Amino acid sequence: MRVLSGIQPTGRPHWGNYFGAIKQYIDLQSEDQAFYFIANLHALTTVRDGDTLRQFSLDAAMDLLALGLDPNQASLFIQSDVPEISELNWLLLAGTPMGLLERCVSYKDKIAKGFPVVSGLFAYPVLQAADILAYDSDVVPVGEDQKQHIEVCRDIAKAFNHQYGEVFVIPKAKTLDASAKVPGTDGDKMSKSYGNFIEIFEPVKSMKKKVMRISTDSREMHESKAPETDHLFQLFSLFGSKEEIDSMADLYRAGGFGYGDIKKKIAEAAADYFEPARERRLELEAKPEQLKEILGDGAAQARKKASEVLMRAQKACGLK
Ligand code: ADP
Ligand code: TRP
């Protein structure tokens, strides 16, 4: 089975990105073959400064490696280092009905958020289809928000196969665990767009400050509280061991505690949880040559497969 997924380099990852997506990608890296890439071509539609995009792309690669992506198990590369993707993108775009893209919600969402109306945002799902089809991917782990793009990819691949013969493998989405929705500092879903996020790699001191400022309700200390619906409890559950989580749940039901104590526990648990990743991140930053080598090897492995698939597609549609 071949697994593939991409991450846009649009900023530093927060706790929601980790538990909702990154951790689950990394858990799949031991599959037969896994390809993970930094989607810098996609990010071009919104990150419009060269130095920023370059830095975000390297940061995203270091973040994944620090968080446990093992380059001996999975190929890690930068999307634009595989030029076959851009070529395949055009082969797919040439036959994609406008209506298929007009139905996609993600570009409408971006435009509603105030991003400029560029055609790259509109054609974004076609480039994503090229990413997926270029490696004969079987499974694509994605969050709920990306499921429609995988459907579009399947439609594009089926139409191409129907027109030109069996060229592409039809991929399946693997939806990530939606229960892993991480609350932000205001209790709503943690998101870059809501300004309620805590970054994985931010300094422990500022992380602790943000945790201590998480909003809470005004119930009295002695009152019993339901753990399941409390966002502080949900946050603690991300980091604590099973025993710690169970005893925290008992404490909630019994009442008699202050939210400040819970916040301290969350901050400590989060600092411990990410400490090994923080150390690995510093080691990677000190060795830019090593990062270059990992990304170079990853791109070589990816190009090997992508050039084979591109050739198949080019031949089928009369370009070779
Ligand atoms: P943001 O909302 O901060 O812009 P993205 O849309 O870039 O985050 O999300 C990247 C990935 O992280 C997606 O797969 C998404 O499902 C996941 N993700 C983002 N925020 C959360 C959250 N609060 N809880 C769980 N998963 C999340
Ligand atoms: N669009 C995805 C996101 O914003 C990133 C992405 C680009 C991707 N190409 C992909 C994900 C291919 C899975 C497969 O999160």
Q: Report the range of poorest mean pLDDT among 49-53, 88-92, 114-118, 175-179.
A: 175-179
Atom of ligand 1 nearest to the CA of 197: 3
pLDDT at 121: 95
Are residues 71 and 173 located together in one domain of the fold? yes
Assigned domain for 196 exists: no
pLDDT of residue 50: 98
Residues 258 and 300 in one domain: no
- CB 20 less than 6 A from any atom of ligand 1: yes
Sole residue written with tokens 């009905």: 97
Q: How far apart are the CA of 256 and the centre of ligand 1, in A? A: 34
Residue 108 known to be catalytic: no
pLDDT value at position 256? Answer: 87
Per-residue pLDDT of 132-162, as tens digits, reads 999 999 999 998 889 999 999 999 999 999 9
Same domain, 305 and 208: no
257 or 182: which carries more pLDDT confidence? Answer: 182
At 143 the pLDDT is 86
Three-state SS letters, 13-37: CEHHHHHHHHHHHHHCCCCCEEEEE
| Residue 84, domain CATH | 3.40.50.620
Whether 147 and 19 share a structural domain: yes
195 domain-assigned: no
Q: Flag whether 191 is in a domain.
A: no
Query: What percentage of the chain exceeds 70 in pLDDT?
Result: 99
Q: For residue 293, what are the domain limits?
A: 2-181+288-317
Domains of the chain: total = 2
Is 192 catalytic? The answer is yes
**pLDDT of the residue at 220:** 80
Work out the average pLDDT over 169-188: 89
Mean pLDDT score of the chain? 95
The secondary structure of the chain as a DSSP string is: -EEEEEE--SS--BHHHIIIIIHHHHHTTTSSEEEEEE-HHHHTTT---HHHHHHHHHHHHHHHHHTT--TTTEEEEEGGG-THHHHHHHHHHTT--HHHHHT-HHHHHHHHTT----HHHHHHHHHHHHHHHTTT-SEEEE-GGGHHHHHHHHHHHHHHHHHHSS-S---EEEE--GGGPPB-TTSSBP-GGGT---BTTS-HHHHHHHHHT-------TTS---GGG-HHHHHHHHHS-HHHHHHHHHHHHH----HHHHHHHHHHHHHHHHHHHHHHHHHHHT-HHHHHHHHHHHHHHHHHHHHHHHHHHHHHTT--
The whole-angstrom separation of Cα 11 and Cα 13 is 6
The predicted-structure confidence for 260-275, as pLDDT tens digits, reads as follows 999 999 999 999 999 9
Tokens at residue 38, please? 């930094």
Here the CATH number for the domain that contains residue 232 is 1.10.240.10
Nearest CA to ligand 2 atom 13: 5
Residue 250: what pLDDT? 94
268 and 124 within one domain: no
Find out whether the beta carbon of 301 lies less than 6 Å from any atom of ligand 2: no
Is residue 21 situated within a structural domain?
yes
Amino acid 46: pLDDT: 92
Per-residue model confidence as pLDDT tens digits over 55-74: 999 999 999 999 999 999 99
In a domain, 186, yes or no: no
Same structural domain, 48 and 167: yes
pLDDT in the model for residue 184: 97
Q: Is the CB of 183 under 6 A from ligand 1?
A: no
Same domain, yes or no, for 94 and 30? yes
> Is residue 89 located within the same domain as residue 72?
yes
189 within a domain of the structure (yes/no): no
Ligand 1 centre and the CA of 316: distance in Å? Answer: 38
84 and 214 fall within a common domain: no
The CB of 153 under 6 Å from ligand 2? The reply is no
Same domain, 121 and 174: yes
d(CA 84, CA 218) in angstroms, rounded, equals: 57
| Co-location of 230 and 116 in the same domain | no
State yes or no: pLDDT of 181 exceeds 90: no
Q: Are residue 273 and residue 296 in the same domain, yes or no?
A: no
Which residue out of 23, 147, 181, 192 is catalytically annotated?
A: 192
Q: What is the largest CA-CA distance in the chain?
A: 76
Whether 12 maps to a domain, the answer reads: yes
Q: Is the CB of 174 under 6 A from ligand 1?
A: no
Strand 74-78 and strand 139-142: the pairing is unpaired
User: What is the pTM (predicted TM-score) of this model?
Assistant: 0.95
Residue 120 lies in a domain: yes
CA of 8 relative to ligand 2 center, distance in Å: 7
**Ligand 1 proximity of 192 Cβ (cutoff 6 Å):** yes
